[in-house]
């Protein structure tokens, strides 16, 4: 510990900001992503005196900070922490808080607030951030009493990580931050959370027997695993159960990595941009083992037509998810890891179903409808090929993948095989563009010796491009893998399918570019902006590639270059993500209804 930190700790008078920082340290916080301002200055002063215990990373935008905290949380399972000042600083966190709520990510966001006497007066940089975020946080606090600071922080972290994880907002008025005491502080006070009982229910042995009986009777079972399998730490038990029973596994976008994607039992991702064989299997299954899922519309399509031929077993820790979108024949409200552990302990050879015909059918579907793409036979770089090459060159190393939102996100989900949990960072429920780069930044802070890659599109990448400065200043060697097609690719795809190819503000280059109306050859000349020049402005090495033959060497250069690196990969904008049709709904109905 530094001399000034020792001096600070030995002081008999401390303020509210000091107490909050000490309370966070006692909750195991080692990294906070924080952007200062007038109403949060005392907090930053307190953080500087504890720099040996908490690393404070300065993002270049508060949204970058909250997305980075999410990357930290998603890749570790620990609570991510971000901090901003009042007013616009606080409102810049809103998208990240909504994202964490949708994807059940444990997060504590601390915002400075104007002094209590100014609250409600429309004071400078005042917003009622608790009211703004009420519907997009798991819980929220406005600290109005100095003595409540330790309790609020203890409760905030407990609520964020317990039960179904989620974001908690703590709004901290500046005068409470500055209030002082010389009394001894109780950092382990009793919590006051009446009505909040997140402790998982005990696994019911009778329900375990019901599930095993259903498995035994089935002939076409399938495991449908979601983000809950990762949040509950159930991936190991899930893999053990799947291998013991021989039941095929399909995963949601949030569930990738819960079961090894390269395993022969994996049917890969299901749903709108999932594989044909996974969606066929779901529709034909006579038993659906839904583990840690919420029957999202991008999975089910028309829910009344989804998995109509079989019995549904739904396991989730959140009672609100049971029967919400799909009726379950065997609903189990419990911790998924404990349920799977009980199943693994109880299952016998006599419980295993006959699945020879089922696997023969699955193999036929896989053979007839493989997850592939059409190679144009020239030297242009297709995004699917680029992602496959990235996987080939990084699969045997500790690698984490973050993505923005759009076509590149879906291609990454399809063509990068995730064999372990917490390897995949995606804004899945909210679909927030700009997530990729700051998320990768948070991952890198949590895993300094790993490879953290942001697979991004040129549209998403520009939304938080300023975080390249953070990479340099904080020595975070994030690799930026930009699939650049000069368009908002996913929207272009729907324009081509449903609007006769009419371009409605989806071209990202200069308006006088020959491709501006999307009717040219697909060859892109000078790209706009020039990402290589922008990277140089931040002091980051970069390279642009246009030729398939030069891509593998460029990826190797990216991986082996110390520090951050930007690889700008020029791709044709006409390439489309293969959309499948889950349930009974057409793709057009899904997009336009």
- Report the C-alpha gap between 195 and 197 in whole angstroms: 6
Q: Tell me the torsion sign for CA atoms 108, 109, 115, 120.
A: negative
Is 125 one of the catalytic residues? yes
Is 174 one of the catalytic residues? yes
The residues, ordered by sequence, that sit 6+ positions from 541 with a Cβ below 8 Å of its Cβ are 535, 561, 563, 564, 565, 566
Report the 10 Å Cβ neighbour count for 409: 28
Which helix (H) or strand (E) covers residue 589, if one does?
Answer: helix 587-592
Which position among 101, 138, 154, 174 bears the catalytic label?
Answer: 174
Which position among 490, 580, 585, 590 bears the catalytic label?
Answer: 490
Is 490 one of the catalytic residues? yes
Tokens of 106: 């444990």
Chain centre distance of CA 108: 16
**Of residues 153, 168, 157, the one with CA closest to residue 101:** 168
- Report the C-alpha gap between 421 and 76 in whole angstroms: 10
Which position among 45, 53, 125, 388 bears the catalytic label?
Answer: 125
Which position among 11, 117, 124, 589 bears the catalytic label?
Answer: 124
| Site of tokens 């382990």 | 188
Q: Kindly report whether the peptide bond that precedes residue 207 is cis, defined as omega within 30 degrees of 0.
A: no
Which position among 22, 27, 62, 415 bears the catalytic label?
Answer: 62
Cα→Cα distances 43→20, 35, 113, 173, Å:
8, 11, 11, 11
Is 251 one of the catalytic residues? no
* Cα R_g (the chain), whole angstroms: 25
**For residues 456-491, b (16+ Cβ closer than 10 Å) or e, as one string?**
bbbbbbbbbbbbbbbbeebebbbbbbbbbbbbbbbb
Give catalytic residues, as residue numbers.
62, 124-125, 174, 490
């Amino acid at each position: 510990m530094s001399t000034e930190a020792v001096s600070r700790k030995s002081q008999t008078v401390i303020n509210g900001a000091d107490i909050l920082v000490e309370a966070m340290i006692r909750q195991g916080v080692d990294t906070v992503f924080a952007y200062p301002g007038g109403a949060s200055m005392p907090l930053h002063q307190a953080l500087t005196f504890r720099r040996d215990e908490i690393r404070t990373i300065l993002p270049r935008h508060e949204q970058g900070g909250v997305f980075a905290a999410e990357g930290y949380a998603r890749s570790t399972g620990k609570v991510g922490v971000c901090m901003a000042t009042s007013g616009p600083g606080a409102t810049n966190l809103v998208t990240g808080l909504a994202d964490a709520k949708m994807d059940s990510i444990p997060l504590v966001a601390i915002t400075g607030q104007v002094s209590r006497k100014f609250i409600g007066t429309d004071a400078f940089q005042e917003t009622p951030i608790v009211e703004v975020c009420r519907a997009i946080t798991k819980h929220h606090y406005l600290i109005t009493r100095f003595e409540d600071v330790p309790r609020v922080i203890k409760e905030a972290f407990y609520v964020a990580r317990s039960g179904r994880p989620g974001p908690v907002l703590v709004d901290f008025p500046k005068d409470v931050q500055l209030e002082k005491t010389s009394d001894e502080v109780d950092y382990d006070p009793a919590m006051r959370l009446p009505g909040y009982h997140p402790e998982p229910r005990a696994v019911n042995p009778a329900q375990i027997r019901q599930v095993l009986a259903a498995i035994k009777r089935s002939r076409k079972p399938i495991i449908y695993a979601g983000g809950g399998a990762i949040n509950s730490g159930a991936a190991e038990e899930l893999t053990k159960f799947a291998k013991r029973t021989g039941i095929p596994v399909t995963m949601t976008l949030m569930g990738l990595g819960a079961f090894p994607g390269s395993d022969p039992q994996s049917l890969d991702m299901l749903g709108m941009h999932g594989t044909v064989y996974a969606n066929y299997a779901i529709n034909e299954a006579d038993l659906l083992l839904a583990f840690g899922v919420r029957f999202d519309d991008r999975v089910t399509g028309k829910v009344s037509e989804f998995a109509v031929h079989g019995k549904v077993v739904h396991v989730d820790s959140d009672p609100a998810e049971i029967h919400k979108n799909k009726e379950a024949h065997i609903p189990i409200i419990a911790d998924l890891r404990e349920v799977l552990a009980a199943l693994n302990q109880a299952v016998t050879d006599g419980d295993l179903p006959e699945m020879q015909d089922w696997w023969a059918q699955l193999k036929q579907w896989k053979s007839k409808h493989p997850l592939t793409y059409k190679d144009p036979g020239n030297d242009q770089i297709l995004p699917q090929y680029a992602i496959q090459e990235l996987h080939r060159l990084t699969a045997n190393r500790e690698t984490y993948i973050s993505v923005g939102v759009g076509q590149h996100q879906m291609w990454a989900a399809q063509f990068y095989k995730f064999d372990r949990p917490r390897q995949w960072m995606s804004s899945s429920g909210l679909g927030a563009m700009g997530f990729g780069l700051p998320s990768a930044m948070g991952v890198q802070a949590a895993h300094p010796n790993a490879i953290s890659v942001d697979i991004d599109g040129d549209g998403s990448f520009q939304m938080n491009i300023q975080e390249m400065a953070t990479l340099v200043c904080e020595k975070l060697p994030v690799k930026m893998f930009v699939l650049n097609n000069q368009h908002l690719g996913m929207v272009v795809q729907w324009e081509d399918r449903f609007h006769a190819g009419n371009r409605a503000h989806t071209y990202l280059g200069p308006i006088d570019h020959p491709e501006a109306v999307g009717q040219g050859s697909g060859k892109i000349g000078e790209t706009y902006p020039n990402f290589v020049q922008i990277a140089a402005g931040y002091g980051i090495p970069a390279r642009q590639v246009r030729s398939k033959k030069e891509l593998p060497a460029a990826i190797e250069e990216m991986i082996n270059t110390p520090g951050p690196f930007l690889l700008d990969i020029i791709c044709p904008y006409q390439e489309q993500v293969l959309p499948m049709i889950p349930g009974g709904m057409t793709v057009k109905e899904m997009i336009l209804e």
